[in-house]
């Protein structure tokens, strides 16, 4: 087979269609009857919220490009017009599925369980009268009918507003189109008097009582509709005189932006539809006919109902065991957080760990500790009643030097952030608004503290926003550390926010846009060089999006030379896994559960000297080139163990995990005679177990659930030799290449010589990149008791019988190859249980640990 071209368009998926595929997975949770009813309703509401944003941002951007006659193609070879057509075609059946499931399954199910959404006319006369009185007293005064006729221009229709289109005529037979906006400051779900779990929708109540709003008219039709406008409106930052003025102008322009979607009742008459299409300048393809409710987002209110029998078991974020009420078993009261960080780095994991008890506590302590000299923080999004902001205000009131970077361009949070900027400045705090040409997306804070032995730098580097509410529903990680190199790196980053330039020399952190792309690229290429030389090579990355074409190409090239790559990508992914000769060594997974997977974790095996990172950046062009991002190494062995637990449990999830096929479609994994493994449930259990245990790591790692495929610390010489023998027949020539492991030389920046183009197995990096693939180990045949070592018995460590048999030959009765899409190997334990493995190496180690 000829070598595949990793840059060819056919090997790249479309960004917009990939995001819609994620929304389809969200929708599937809303129709998955393994979820309780209110959990399903929550996902239907999320689907509406997410697709609203998708149309505002992504479809709006495509329409702008079409109107500007942009013909440039994407990496997958599509023009804006082609993408627009395909996106609309792909979205239509998803909306239909949402509506049909609500009308035919979920609405009746909830009604049977006592939660009803009724039509007013289906209620008793007494209840109808009570609702009419409520309408007349509370709703009618807020309504403003806007007629469209020769005497009245067509009214402005705001973004995402739900409206009624009314066709009517007067006594003279003159027809009129009237738009009635559903008031957003009124509850959408109106409680039926005397019935706490019975509701009517406000739009149905208005329609039922139109005679009070439009008296003496003959109403011919009432139909619901909703308009979505483009959010991709911008001004050139280079010529903006003031960033605040620019953001305010963008917000104003967004109100009047182009309409990109029109949702209407399925039976809206052609007369109303024609008026809307003509006046809003809509194409027929942009019209979506909906059965039942048009907007499900307000149904979040029902999800909050006090009906635990219809929900998943509730989860309360736990205190971190190292920051709880006790230290060890002898002290009462909270520990000093700075003292605890000095004892060792702390890894916090939200929402498993409480945001208030970890990150918020860190900032509160900094604000009130007399030894703290300065506090700095970068705010991308925060809550409307943010305690984080209050801590920074308190710090300034306590005479700390406070500097805050507030990103005004955080989409859909611009207005909220503008308010915080004004409040912070009123308190005399120095505020940076952002950077021309870049968004600041890093989630970092720095505390400067005077201590007996000098000034210490305490840092927080996270994957999620300083937002107490989203921290309850988004899965994110954060590192609390007193590592001086990280603190000095953050000092440079914060100086950039207020100074003229961003330094490109960092001790520990990977910083976009100056060093991150280059460092990640070198690490991927290093794994490829290890694979060519026959050394262990593996990459595991957990991110929200993989969109950057250059990173996809690097992963393809690494796969082509044998690097085993697992990608846990929540939503957008351009890469196609499982293509022979290109990506057969790559698997792509996506987890959709009760918490939004938002953490970013990066693992590089590095021939036995593993490297682990967490941070704010996805592998998307915007993150690597157009945002200020920070990724930090995780060096503490105990914290690496927790990251390994997260990744390995995620990769074997058979409840919430989807696996991408080479055509870009996804298949959900389900238990196949195996115990159910739900990543988020497992991590909740691990967190509670850690709290029960007391002071210590943030999670109790259940070693029965993982098989140590991912290294957490450098291998010993004997382990490395054994692993090399077991994994490959390729031997590095004597004296060639660079030593790996403890004896590897590292420079002042912490990088090994391997990363700087020094020879790999006797060749330069560029020569190794372009050399033909080296012979690989023979593939195992399929079937019971086939020797997975290829029949050459290379596993020849001395044993009591002195033989040189493969471990699989020696214990052939204790393993088999299961009929499973997830696992390739199964080992019978001494206790009679079965343990399943994705890799031959994992099965080999289990056989040795059980029987040798």
Catalytic amino acids? Answer: 441
- Identify the sign of the CA torsion 187, 188, 192, 195: negative
The rounded distance, in Å, linking the Cα atoms of 432 and 378 is: 9
> Rounded to a whole number, what is the distance in angstroms from the first to the last CA of the chain?
42
- Identify the sign of the CA torsion 410, 414, 419, 424: positive
Percentages helix, strand, coil for the chain, rounded to the nearest 5? 40, 20, 40
Question: ∠203-208-209 over CA atoms, to 5°?
Answer: 100
Measured CA to CA in angstroms, residue 165 lies from 146, 157, 219, 262, 318 at distances of 10, 12, 11, 13, 49
Strands 372-379, 401-406: pairing is parallel
Please give the structure tokens belonging to residue 326. 């006790």
What is the SS3 assignment for 529? helix
What DSSP state is assigned to residue 122? G
The rounded distance, in Å, linking the Cα atoms of 408 and 389 is: 15
The rounded distance, in Å, linking the Cα atoms of 597 and 541 is: 13
| Residue 264 burial by Cβ neighbours in a 10 Å radius (0-12, 13-18, 19+) | buried
The rounded distance, in Å, linking the Cα atoms of 441 and 224 is: 39
What DSSP state is assigned to residue 838? S
Q: Rg of the Cα trace of the chain? A: 30
What DSSP state is assigned to residue 59? I
Please give the structure tokens belonging to residue 70. 């942009």
Contact 523/612 with Cβ under 8 angstroms? no
The rounded distance, in Å, linking the Cα atoms of 35 and 191 is: 26
| DSSP per position, 274-308 | HHHHHHHT--GGGEEEESS-S--GGGHHHHTSS-G
Q: Measuring CA to CA, which residue among 31, 29, 3 is closest to residue 100?
A: 31
Please give the structure tokens belonging to residue 208. 């039922």
Give the strands of the sheet with 189-191, arranged side by side.
116-118, 198-201, 189-191
* β-strand partners of 349: 477
The rounded distance, in Å, linking the Cα atoms of 595 and 742 is: 39
Please give the structure tokens belonging to residue 20. 């819609």
The rounded distance, in Å, linking the Cα atoms of 696 and 693 is: 8
Q: Measuring CA to CA, which residue among 10, 576, 656, 14 is closest to residue 312?
A: 656
Measured CA to CA in angstroms, residue 688 lies from 308, 425, 693, 702 at distances of 20, 41, 9, 12
Q: Measuring CA to CA, which residue among 92, 225, 244 is closest to residue 163?
A: 225
The rounded distance, in Å, linking the Cα atoms of 386 and 395 is: 15
């Amino acid at each position: 087979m000829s070598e595949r071209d990793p840059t060819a368009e056919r090997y790249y998926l479309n960004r917009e269609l990939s995001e819609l595929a994620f929304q389809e997975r969200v929708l599937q949770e809303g129709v998955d009857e393994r979820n309780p009813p209110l959990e399903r309703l929550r996902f239907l509401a999320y689907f509406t919220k997410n697709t609203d944003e998708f149309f505002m941002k992504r479809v709006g951007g495509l329409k702008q490009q079409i109107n500007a006659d942009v013909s440039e193609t994407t990496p997958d070879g599509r023009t804006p017009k082609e993408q627009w057509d395909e996106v609309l075609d792909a979205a239509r059946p998803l909306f239909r599925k949402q509506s049909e499931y609500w009308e035919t399954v979920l609405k009746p199910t909830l009604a049977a369980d006592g939660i009803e959404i009724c039509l007013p006319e289906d209620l008793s006369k007494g209840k109808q009268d009570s609702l009419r009185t409520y309408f007349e007293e509370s709703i009618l005064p807020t309504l403003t009918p806007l007629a469209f006729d020769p005497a009245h221009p067509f009214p402005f229709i705001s973004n995402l507003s739900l409206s009624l289109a009314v066709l009517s005529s007067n006594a003279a037979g003159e027809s009129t189109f009237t738009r009635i906006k559903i008031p957003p400051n009124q509850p959408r779900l109106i409680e039926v008097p005397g019935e706490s779990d019975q509701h009517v929708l406000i739009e149905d109540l208005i329609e039922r009582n139109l005679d009070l709003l439009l008296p003496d008219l003959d109403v011919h039709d009432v139909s619901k509709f909703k308009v979505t406008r483009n959010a991709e409106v911008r001004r050139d930052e280079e010529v903006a005189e003031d960033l605040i003025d620019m953001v305010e102008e963008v917000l104003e322009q967004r109100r009047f932006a182009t309409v990109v979607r029109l949702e209407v009742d399925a039976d809206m008459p052609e007369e109303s539809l024609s008026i809307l299409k003509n006046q809003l300048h809509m194409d027929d393809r942009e019209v979506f006919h909906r059965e039942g409710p048009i907007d499900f987002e307000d149904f979040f209110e029902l999800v909050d109902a006090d009906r635990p029998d219809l929900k998943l078991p509730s989860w309360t974020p736990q205190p971190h065991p190292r920051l709880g009420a006790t230290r060890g078993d002898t002290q009462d009261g909270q520990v000093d957080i700075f003292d605890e960080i000095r004892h060792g780095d702390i890894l916090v994991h939200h929402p498993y760990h409480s945001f208030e008890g970890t990150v918020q506590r860190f900032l509160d302590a900094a604000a009130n500790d007399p030894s703290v000299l300065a506090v700095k923080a970068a705010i991308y999004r925060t809550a409307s009643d943010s305690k984080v902001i209050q801590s920074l205000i308190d710090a300034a009131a306590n005479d700390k030097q406070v500097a805050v970077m507030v990103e005004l361009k955080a989409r859909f949070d611009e207005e909220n952030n503008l308010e915080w900027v004004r409040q912070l400045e009123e308190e005399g705090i120095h505020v940076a608004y952002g950077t021309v040409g870049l968004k600041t997306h890093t989630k970092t804070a720095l505390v400067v503290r005077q201590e007996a032995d000098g000034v210490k730098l305490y840092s927080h580097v996270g994957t999620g926003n300083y937002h107490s509410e989203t921290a309850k529903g988004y899965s994110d990680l954060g590192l609390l550390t007193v590592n001086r190199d990280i603190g000095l790196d953050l000092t440079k980053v914060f100086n950039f926010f207020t100074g003229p330039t961003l330094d490109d020399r960092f001790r520990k952190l990977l910083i976009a846009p100056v060093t991150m792309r280059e460092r990640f690229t070198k690490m991927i290429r290093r794994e490829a060089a290890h694979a060519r030389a026959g050394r262990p090579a593996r990459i595991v990355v957990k991110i929200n999006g993989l969109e950057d074409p250059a990173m996809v190409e690097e992963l393809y090239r690494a796969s082509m030379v044998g690097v085993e790559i697992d990608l846990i990508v929540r939503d957008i992914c351009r890469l196609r896994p499982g293509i022979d000769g290109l990506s057969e060594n790559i698997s792509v997974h996506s987890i959709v559960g009760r918490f939004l997977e938002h953490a970013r974790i990066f693992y590089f095996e590095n021939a036995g000297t593993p490297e682990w990172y967490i941070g704010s950046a996805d592998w998307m062009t915007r993150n690597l080139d157009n945002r200020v991002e920070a990724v930090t190494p995780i060096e503490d062995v105990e914290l690496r163990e927790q990251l390994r637990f997260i990744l390995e449990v995620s990769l074997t999830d058979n409840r919430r995990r989807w696996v991408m096929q080479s055509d870009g479609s996804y298949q959900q994994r389900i238990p196949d005679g195996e115990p159910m493994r739900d990543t988020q449930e497992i991590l909740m259990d691990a967190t509670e177990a850690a709290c029960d245990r007391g002071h210590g790591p943030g999670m109790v790692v259940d070693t029965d659930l993982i098989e140590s495929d991912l290294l957490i610390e450098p291998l010993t010489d004997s382990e490395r030799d054994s692993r090399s023998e077991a994994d490959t027949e390729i031997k590095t020539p004597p004296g060639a290449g660079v030593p790996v492991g403890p004896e590897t030389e590292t420079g002042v920046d912490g990088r090994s010589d391997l990363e700087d183009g020094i020879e790999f197995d006797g060749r330069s990096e560029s020569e190794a990149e372009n050399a033909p693939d080296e012979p690989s180990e023979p593939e195992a045949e399929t079937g019971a008791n086939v020797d997975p070592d290829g029949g050459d018995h290379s596993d020849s460590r001395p044993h009591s019988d002195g033989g040189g048999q493969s471990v699989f030959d020696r214990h052939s009765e204790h393993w088999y190859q299961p009929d499973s899409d997830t696992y390739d190997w199964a080992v019978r334990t001494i206790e009679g249980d079965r343990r399943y493995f994705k890799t031959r190496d994992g099965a080999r180690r289990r056989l040795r640990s059980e029987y040798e």
